[in-house]
Amino acid sequence: MSVETLDRIETKVFEKTKSLLDTEMHYCPGCGHGVAHRLIAEVIDEMNIVEDTIGVAPVGCSVFAYNYLGMDFSQAAHGRASAVATGIKRVLPEKYVFSYQGDGDLAAIGTGETIHTCNRGENILIIFINNGIYGMTGGQMAPTTLPNMKSTTSPFGRDTKSMGYPLKITELIAALPGTYYVTRQSVHKPLNVRRAKKAIQKGFEYQKLNKGTCFVEIVSNCPSNWKMTPVESNHWMDEHMLAFYPLGDIKVPNVKEA
Amino acid sequence: MAKVKGDIKIDIEKCKGCVICVEACPEDVIAMSNEVNQKGYLFAVKIEDGCTGCTNCALVCPDAVITVYREVKQKKEQIAVITNVTENITVSVDK
Ligand SMILES: Cc1ncc(C[n+]2csc(CCOP(=O)(O)OP(=O)(O)O)c2C)c(N)n1
């Protein structure tokens, strides 16, 4: 008699995490916002802090982030997400508070709030999606738009003589003593997605230490306004955006201190 | 060495046809359909058996429509030796 031994079993190795709601996202096909949302939800579920987390959505394409992330949320006026997050964190210091902002939101109209939040060293996590353009309003030039990059308000390419240079706000705030952990990641390839998730996780974990602002930049794409297919936009991003915005940690905590 | 066997399930009605998963798949088992879903997008489909369950496609999917399965080998462990058996006996192990 032969006895069947069960030596192969099928297991689920990846599925949509619980706090990423079933609501269909309004983002264009291939938009990096979707992946960034999922990573936040995954980290929060893995840390089991969904009841203790409050997010602040910006103005921009991700204005409806609260429809997709199943946790407490607020939505701030344009550029003010980090200021609103500051208020929430100061009233409820035991909660995990994060803001989620685009480059037009965080680095243009909200530059003042961003810099001062980081300079005060508020214990929040700022997630910054940098797609080098104003996505929601139809592809106008942002402070982060690359030199010679075309947008609806720089149809012949960004001329740095008259339009200034792209703003590396992440490097700027990393220089402030209030920031604790500053990193730049992307979500266009599997390896980068894994790294970005680690970075977001660290951002949440460090919040417990009350050591200052954590800032995670995610360089992302905008296929619709870059006028490319999603795959092309990822290649273009790899070639051009990442050359100007190199990935990696910009400020890491001193482990001995922590 | 035998390859790890995997499988993916795609929620075709939520897929927006961005093709990023097709790019990310190292085994080329995903392609785009010839028909459209209710939203009007060509959706991703699994066309071959070579899936290893590496999760690359699911990691880059912006709409989280891919669920990945993997067959895991369990070590066979010798738990008993039975000799001189004259009747049928059943040996079971708690999972
Ligand atoms: C006070 C104010 N000024 C301007 C606008 C118009 N507006 C809406 S979204 C946006 C830019 C958003 O771009 P970004 O932050 O890069 O986000 P994305 O849409 O690219 O994700 C602007 C200027 C506004 N809503 N409120």
Which has the closest alpha carbon to A131: A42, A232, A233, A215? A233
Position A176 in a domain: yes
Q: What is the ipTM of this complex?
A: 0.90
Position A7 in a domain: no
Position A6 in a domain: no
Position A29 in a domain: yes
- A121 φ/ψ sector (left φ>0, alpha ψ -120 to 50, else beta): left
Query: DSSP labels for B54-90?
Result: --HHHHH-TT--EEEEEEEEPPP-------S--S---
Domains defined along chain B, listed by start? 3-73 (3.30.70.20)
For chain A, how far is it from start to end, CA to CA, in angstroms? 62
* Overall number of domains in chain A: 1
Position A76 in a domain: yes
Position A83 in a domain: yes
Beta bridge partners of A154: A151
Residue of A62, A105, A130, A241 with the most ligand 1 atoms within 8 Å of its CB, for mutation: A105
Position A166 in a domain: yes
Q: Other CB atoms closer than 10 Å to residue A62's CB: what's the count?
A: 29
Which has the closest alpha carbon to A238: A219, A215, A251, A252? A219
Q: What is the CATH number of the domain that holds A93?
A: 3.40.50.970
Among the listed ranges A123-127, A128-132, A234-238, B2-6, which one has the minimum average pLDDT value?
A: B2-6
**Nearest-angstrom CA–CA distance, A71 and A88:** 14
Answer yes or no: is pLDDT of A149 > 60: yes
Position A152 in a domain: yes
Does residue A141 sit in helix, strand or coil? strand
The domain containing residue A132 runs over which residues? 24-251
Cβ of A234 within 8 Å of Cβ of B20? The answer is yes
Answer yes or no: is pLDDT of A131 > 90: yes
Quote the pLDDT of residue B20: 97
pLDDT tier, B3 (very low <50, low <70, confident <90, very high otherwise): low
Which residues of chain B lie closer than 8 angstroms to A234, CB-CB? 20, 23
State pLDDT tens for residues A12-46: 999 999 999 999 999 999 999 999 999 999 999 99
Residue type, A86: T
pTM metric for this prediction: 0.91
